[in-house]
Structure 1
Amino acid sequence: MQKLLAATALVALLAPAGAIAQESYTFALVPKAMNNPFFDLARDGCMAAAEELGNVTCNYIGPGEHTEMEQVQIVQDLISQGVDGIAVAPSNAPAMGRALRAAVDAGIPVMTWDSDLLPEDAAIRSTYVGTKNYDIGVELANIAKARHPDGGTICLQTGGAAAANHNERLKGIRDTLAGEDTGAPPGTPLAGQGGWTEISGCPLITDDDGNVAVQGMTDILAANPDLTAFISTGAFTQWFDNAYRQAVQPYAEELTSGELSIIVADTLPMQMAQLKDGLSVGQVGQRPYEMGHQAMSILLDIAEGKEVQDPIYTGLDICTQENVDTCLGGSATN
């Protein structure tokens, strides 16, 4: 019996540590809001990755609704709890940058996803995974330029005024339509450059609130019957399918004829149905499932002392009524 115990002890000493006990980690994935179908897909990717990795728990936690300071408080609480890593989509980039300094001081790995910190705070986080947000703006604008080569009047709709990702998208739109650099994000409103002029009252700030987004679009379209293009930098404009359809249906003929263009970021299922039904003319889609999925693997690599690439871009899907059945290439849910 003693020989058997001694042999067992020897095997345990010689075996790789991971073969005996694998260290487990709890990583937080913090969205801007938990009532957002875009972030639901990121949550699904996070949970799937945790199951695949085996030694990771995905703690998906964020504000119930888009509330910048509540998100900051949640991150501060996660730091106090001593989680093993934090992946956050900052709603307010400057405020989140200040909050995350405490995580670095506590030795907690930090990364961003979907939206990033300001350039001056980029050293706080190890990497960013998600969309190259400037490129979303470029592609949204390219759809508008293709339909209206001579330009026209335009209204832009965006998320939070301090959200770095939406400001980068606005700059991408403005630079592309103007054909020149319009300044630091969000760029300078267009006043005739490239034939495009932003109308009074825009850009519309929604704070990622779907009701605010639909109402704002409804008011702008009603007050500006000769508007050439309405471009939204986020899916919030189309989240509430019935409300969006009711708002846009009166303009279906103008959309079909090319007099008006409504172009929106993201390619969630209800958005693709709206595009197929002629209630938008273009969608530029991100891949939130991949963002959530990769965040867990990246945090694990950081926790284990491995080098990670910065940034990590997840790509875009450019969808129009001409390619609506094939544009996602199998990435409708990722």
Structure 2
Amino acid sequence: MQALQAGLVAEARRLGFVSAGFASAEDDPVRAARLHEWLEAGHHGSMEWMADRADVRQGPHSMWPEAQSVIALGMSYAPDADPLALEAAPDKARISVYARGRDYHDVVKKALKALARWLVAEARHAGLEEPQLKVFVDTAPVMEKPLGEASGIGWQGKHSNLVSSAHGSWLFLGAIYTTIPFTPDAPHRDQCGSCRACHDACPTDAFPQPYVVDARRCISYLTIEHKGPIPQEFRAPMGNRIYGCDDCLAVCPWNKFARTAARHKAFTARADLDAPDLAQFLGFDDTAFRAFFSGSPIKRIGRDRFVRNCLIAAGNSRMAALIGPVQDLCEDSDPVVAEAAQWALIQLTAET
């Protein structure tokens, strides 16, 4: 079994994963309790799918009682440049680092399936009972970050994301549940110490306490998951962020060890998403939006939500050159877009 476990780690690295670890598939009552406390506090906002399947999400055995082990895997998307560099460029649109390359769902899942096939073949070759496996990347009720900590590939930092001493805060996570009883790795110890850089950097004060994020105040949630109008109190703090927010991740001191050489090639930023002009996005109809973001995770939020975000950025820009494009959207067929355009127009004309 040890040879199979070591071989799996080597194969995972060949497939593009930079981290691999093993944990028991047994439910952890502490992790389950934290999940339910978070949901009961309403920190999930309108993400009702999290509450609806909380009983399954609380642990591997709750989802699949036959599972014996969890294989936690991480794939690097370390950025080339400072993610905060565009903060003072109101004519540019800030897009979260993770969304500047190919859709991680497709890339990570493809690698997970390849690793699962390898594991089945190797187990068969070793004369083991045919293993059962399930692969997950972000879209299933799986707590990837706590499982990553339990498997030793990192720890869940004060910003609630997984932190790696080797790859900083820049890891896409995947998991394989299996009936093979692998030897668990030791959980990773917390190495945040007294640091609170991530909390201090948050523009909307989305952390009610260390290790807890209130999604309702998080710019990533507001620009990606939230479907209605952006609440007034968060519009100015959004600045020129039109998809996600990297601030709490970007300031993590552990990022100094992250190397772009370890990044999967699929996550190299597209040239047209590195520092895109905000103005170009305001003219997008649904067809143009889908064509431009083909193969990108941004495509999943749809044109209306995306243009809504761009209009908030336009209003914050105070750039008179954007008055015309914004005005054109004031009667948009989507009422949320139209309202955002009307708000942006007030911001722009108040300064001219």
TM (norm. structure 1) is 0.25
| Higher RCO structure (Cα 8 Å, ≥6 apart) | 2
Q: Which has the higher strand share?
A: 1
